[in-house]
Amino acid sequence: MIDDKALVVFSGGQDSTTCLFWAKREFREVYALSYRYGQKHQNEVDLARKIAEKADVPFEVMDIPLIGHLGRNSLTDTSIVMDQEVPERGLPNTFVPGRNMFFMSIAAVYARERGIRHLVTGVSQTDYSGYPDCRDAFVKSLNVTLNLAMDYQFVLHTPLMWIDKAQTWELADQLGVLDLVRNETLTCYNGIQGDGCGHCPSCKLRNDGLHKYLALKATREKLA
């Protein structure tokens, strides 16, 4: 146990749900914070709430619709068709500019009010989809900035930073929540819970990782 309290930036997706249970293993008290930022799939927040209840973790939602209004992207603007591949130049239109910076900054203020130093986020640069605010350098830089901004010693934790999707499934399995993560989280860009639509970029990444992990697990069991 590293310390006693942690706040998880929680969307109810595969990554942040795995982080929620990771945090429950590492900290005595865990809190979850979700955001309503104008995302097309508002049921994301309801699913997040249900998962937090199952995990017995206090849950709160912040409304920050300005993020959707500030920049154009296909996660909040229904008139934009979602990029199915990472484009050769620039960022996919699923990128919400500033999202993680806002999420983490708001989470830091929220945490400081409650005497929490540890912040947990499910970002990863291994299965890098081109999002600059998922990179390790960004998170480390923001950690320094937040500490300076509020004269407080935050510690930002990124348990998934250097592992791929298959290893994220493995971590969920080790934490005893593989089925929960598989059935109850929402990662799909088309808003379908669990295994999802199967063809959006997010589903492809998630399902490829799952099949890779399950195949590896079956091989290990055969050899054991």
Question: Footprint of Zn ion on this chain (CB under 5 A)?
Answer: 188, 190, 196-197, 200, 203
| Cβ–Cβ under 8 Å, residues 68 and 39 | yes
| Cβ–Cβ under 8 Å, residues 2 and 26 | yes
Nearer to Zn ion, 13 or 196 (CB): 196
Nearer to Zn ion, 123 or 203 (CB): 203
Nearer to Zn ion, 105 or 190 (CB): 190
Nearer to Zn ion, 205 or 216 (CB): 205
Q: How far is CA 183 from CA 162, 167, 168, 211, in A?
A: 24, 18, 15, 15
Nearer to Zn ion, 66 or 197 (CB): 197
Measured distance CA(137)–CA(212) in Å, rounded: 28
Smallest gap, in angstroms, from Cβ of residue 94 to Zn ion?
12
Smallest gap, in angstroms, from Cβ of residue 193 to Zn ion?
10
Smallest gap, in angstroms, from Cβ of residue 191 to Zn ion?
8
Neighbouring CB atoms inside 10 A of 29's CB total 15
The set of residues, in sequence order, having a beta carbon less than 8 Å from that of 100 and lying 6+ positions away, is: 121, 123, 131, 133, 134, 138
Smallest gap, in angstroms, from Cβ of residue 44 to Zn ion?
13
Smallest gap, in angstroms, from Cβ of residue 30 to Zn ion?
28
The single-letter DSSP state of residue 76 is: T
Measured distance CA(199)–CA(116) in Å, rounded: 39
